[in-house]
Amino acid sequence: MCNSPKTGGGVTTTLYPLGSDDNMPVLPQAVPLYSQPDPPRCQTDAVHASPNGAALLLQYNCEDTLFARLLDLNNPDAVTLLNQGYFMNWSPDGAWLLFRDIETGQVWLIPVNGGEWQPLELPAGTYDAAFAPDGQRVLYAATVGLGFGSEMGVLNLADGRLAPWQTFPDQLVAHAAWSPDGNVLAYVLLPDTSIPFVIGELWLAEPASGRQLTLLAEVDAGHGYAPVWSPDSASLVYVHRENPDDIQADLEPLALRSNLYQVDVYAGTVTPITQFEDSLVYDAVWSPDGLLAFTADDAIWMWTPGETAVPVSPPGIHRHPTWLSAPIP
């Protein structure tokens, strides 16, 4: 979990451990994993834990750019500053990450252990990418510009072959991800428009071609809140926009009012997880054993399926939960 209190003229991001049981530390007494002032005119926008629990990536959203820091949890003093750009995805084993340089548009395959970066030969205009569950392929989404739609395809990392899959003449495809078992694919289609925050369509798709199978739900789109697969591959949790007719919510990121919904990808049933009346709810992330953490009104909440969500941090400055799958050193 991350918090961002203001200190003097700036903001300091601190990462705290929170347990998922009754023995979790009281936050003021918890020992921080990491604490460092945010860069000028920047704020922490997301925290991503590697699947093996060995690294954390902090994504910063700045006034005129994006960049990230990579933190080695086995050596907390080793912090790698990445180029201007944004994190895309971890490899399934946590040894690599995908990162897009926004100055050049290049997508890089970066080893977490500090080795040499490898450029990926993806189409110009690639803006989204994710690993297949086998770690041997990368799914990409690309566009040549506003009004030209998008395409989706796969890069084979072993031989470098590129296989275009689907084109969407009037839509942008985003957040494509295989289910953990690899049996199906899901992605969001949103209108190819200059309006920044719109409502998109969550689709279930054929895993070897991206062909659309089932429209699952309408979801918030444009904010970057990706639907997340449950560990058992049976459902997706997504951000549902509660104020679809509010024009300000189309333009201002903090005007969104939302809740989390869950859709069974085979039965098609949709169930609300949260029922906040006037809140910004986002940052959903599953633990490997089936607990869901999320941010609501700058507090961290936790949900156990079949129960009511409960807060696990004080409100006000706490956001961006993530799960570590290995013990904290």
pLDDT digit string, tens, across residues 157-195: 999 999 999 999 999 999 999 999 999 999 999 999 999
pLDDT of residue 23: 45
Pairwise CA distance, residues 262 & 273, whole Å: 7
Q: Residue 250: phi, psi to the nearest 5?
A: -75, -20
pLDDT of residue 136: 96
> What are the structural domains, with CATH classification, of the chain?
2-225 (2.120.10.30)
The pLDDT-based confidence of 22 (bands split at 50, 70, 90) is very low
Q: What Å distances lie between residue 95 and 3, 87, 110, 139, 307, CA to CA?
A: 26, 14, 9, 18, 35
Residue 97 has pLDDT above 70, yes or no: yes
pLDDT of residue 2: 56
pLDDT digit string, tens, across residues 231-289: 999 999 999 999 999 999 999 999 999 999 999 999 999 999 999 999 999 999 999 99
The pLDDT-based confidence of 6 (bands split at 50, 70, 90) is very low
pLDDT digit string, tens, across residues 276-321: 999 999 999 999 999 999 999 989 999 999 999 999 888 888 899 9
